[in-house]
Amino acid sequence: MTDSRVPRPRRFLVCEPRHFAVQYAINPWMHPDKPVDVDLAREQWQQLIRAYRTHGHTVDSVEPVPGLPDMVFAANAAFVVGGRVFGSLFHAPQRRPESVHYDTWFKAAGYDVHRPESVTEGEGDLVWTGRYVLAGTGFRTTREAHREAQEFLGHPVIGLTLVDPYFYHLDTALFVLDDDNICYYPEAFSPGSREVLKRLYPNAVLATREDAMAFGLNSVSDGRNVFIAPQAEALAERLAGHGYVPVPVDLSEFHKAGGGIKCCTQEIR
């Protein structure tokens, strides 16, 4: 079955964790009293970049800015489809300055950038499936932002409500495997949202709370290779059973800030 999975080359935007730290608490994972090993974080991040390039993906980088410790989480900065960039307006005031630097990078690269009026946090809550956008709400991104994204992008947006504060972004509870399927943790969603996902993806790979707490849902798939936290061993085995190839990359130092592989990875489509 593995040979039937076809990887698709991707282009990623990242930001080196030169100034990474946990200086405030804006999610249940963050504890400013627990020190971060910045050298280890940079080493882990470099391993991720090497893994992407080894598997044939292109990686671009935004220059990190002092005083913005969460800028490493590039996925939160924007949502890009068809060359259109739907920017971010972060919920937490500490992160709002990040948007300016990412917008500047995209504009310099020739992209059309939309500055949203409603709170929205990029690929943290907006997930491209190849046909439509799955959009999270409940903790960060607002429903108004879902409507704003649909108007700007011209693609259908399907709202999903998150209910567990540990999975405050959609990309901590769900990721796209390929154009036909997803992997997600059902209990992270409201009953109605679970029904929607069940109807859209009856053959989805389902994750447990243990998988999700290990940041197994904060993964990146190229259609065949799944870059996944090694701590999510059971989920990796389940994915392998469905024909995907797990590529373990340890970003455990970033878990202290509530982020992982996907959080550090913005996809440019």
Place of tokens 């709002």: 96
Give exposure, 235-248, as e/b (b: 16+ Cβ within 10 Å).
Answer: bbebbeebebbbbb
Catalytic residue among 15, 183, 263, 264: 263
Q: For the purposes of burial, counting CB atoms within 10 Å of the CB of 63, is it exposed (0-12), middle (13-18) or buried (19 or more)?
A: exposed
**Residue 173 in contact with residue 134, Cβ under 8 Å?**
no
| Residue of 15, 169, 183, 255 with catalytic role | 169
End-to-end CA distance of the chain: 27
Residues paired with residue 78 on neighbouring β-strands, in sequence order = 87
Q: Is 169 known to be catalytic?
A: yes
Short-list 220, 188, 259, 223, CA closest to 4: 223
> Which of 29, 64, 23, 26 lies closest to 45 in space, CA to CA?
64
Question: Is 183 noted as a catalytic residue in this protein?
Answer: no
3-state secondary structure of 248: strand
Q: What is the DSSP string of 138-172?
A: SSSS-HHHHHHHHHHH-S-EEEEEB--GGG-SGGG
Catalytic residues: 169, 263
